[in-house]
Amino acid sequence: MKRRDFSRAVAGFTAATALPAMRAADADEPGGITNVQGVKVGHFTDSRRPTGCTVLLFEKGATAGVDVRGSAPGTRETDLLNPINSVQQVQAIVLAGGSAFGLDAASGVVRYLDEHRLGYAVGDIVVPIVPAAILYDLQLGDPRIRPTAESGYKACQAATTEPVVEGNVGAGAGATIGKLFGPKQAMKSGLGSASVRVGNTGIVVGAIVAVNAVGDIVDPKTGKIVAGARQPDGSGFMDSMARIREGYGVRADAGANTTIGVVATNVALDKVQATKVAQMAHDGLARTIYPVHTPSDGDTIFAVATGAIAARANHGSIGALAAEAMAQAVLRAVMKARAIAGLPSYSEIQLRR
């Protein structure tokens, strides 16, 4: 499909609507997912371990879907997002470290939204709808330090439409990658965000992700590993998939990983369409994380649509763009990470070369 044809497909305008000439979609714009109107992002980072949480706020509500591909997920309120269920919009989504303990951060977000009377109206009562997902980072430092309800509340207070702060922050504070051969050969990862603006249609698709994968990170444009399990002497990468092909088995530390994220668009979608976009966004993980969706991962992606602009859109094309934005966000998560004791980062390795 030609670029102009693709842009027309994304926009989904009727034949009677004048559609001006469009340029190709611009990937990885500054700002990340907050380029999508109606999305605020806030982090709470606890540097003592480190760990933290990231909150996406939708003050005017947003339609949402979810797709869970990993076999060790930790989630909250995902059943509400099933298209057959009643609630149509969410007011926030929480991504957190701390394993199952980190789900407590969502309670603080509920409290914040309750104070601002944002939620699902049941008569005179307003009930905030806050889905959440967690990753396992308890192997770093004191496992008794993990995100709490107060962490979630503070992340809400910090939420802004400013460009997303990336790296060792929020849900990505304790994230690591390349763990197939144990922690001594792993690397530091973090949180990344990216967005795609579709020509001059006004349509924006963004992604945010905390990358805590057992696998390596591959740049899909070059096919080369950019971060992951390192050789024991630090001379290069082990290439986890090559070792698996040689017969090396996945370690049995189930639940010790997980990549969690959100994709968002400013067009209107229903829950069925949002769910499909969430499914397609996992392609962005599959293009960049090798292996991914393993028994040791709880990989989860939410998709939200704020409906901030009136343009009609083909949700299949939105899903394709969501996968592209997610792949960009994964790369940014590892490239923006900073080294901590015993865990080098992408930037540190680049300096050594």
Entry pTM: 0.90
- Residues 300 and 133 sit within 8 Å (Cβ to Cβ): yes
Lowest mean pLDDT of 3-7, 242-246, 258-262, 343-347, name the range. 3-7
- Residues 169 and 6 sit within 8 Å (Cβ to Cβ): no
Q: Is the pLDDT of residue 253 over 60?
A: no
**Chain mean pLDDT for the chain:** 89
- Residues 226 and 335 sit within 8 Å (Cβ to Cβ): yes
Q: Is the pLDDT of residue 235 over 70?
A: yes
Please state the rounded mean pLDDT for residues 125-148. 96
Short-list 88, 46, 331, 83, CA closest to 207: 331
pLDDT, tens digit (0-9, with 9 covering 90-100), for 174-188: 999 999 888 889 999
What's the gap between Cα 123 and its chain centre? 34
The residue count of the chain comes to 353
**Taking the alpha carbons of 87, 78, 61, 17 in that order, is the dihedral positive or negative?**
negative
CA atoms within 13 A on the CB side of 181: 20
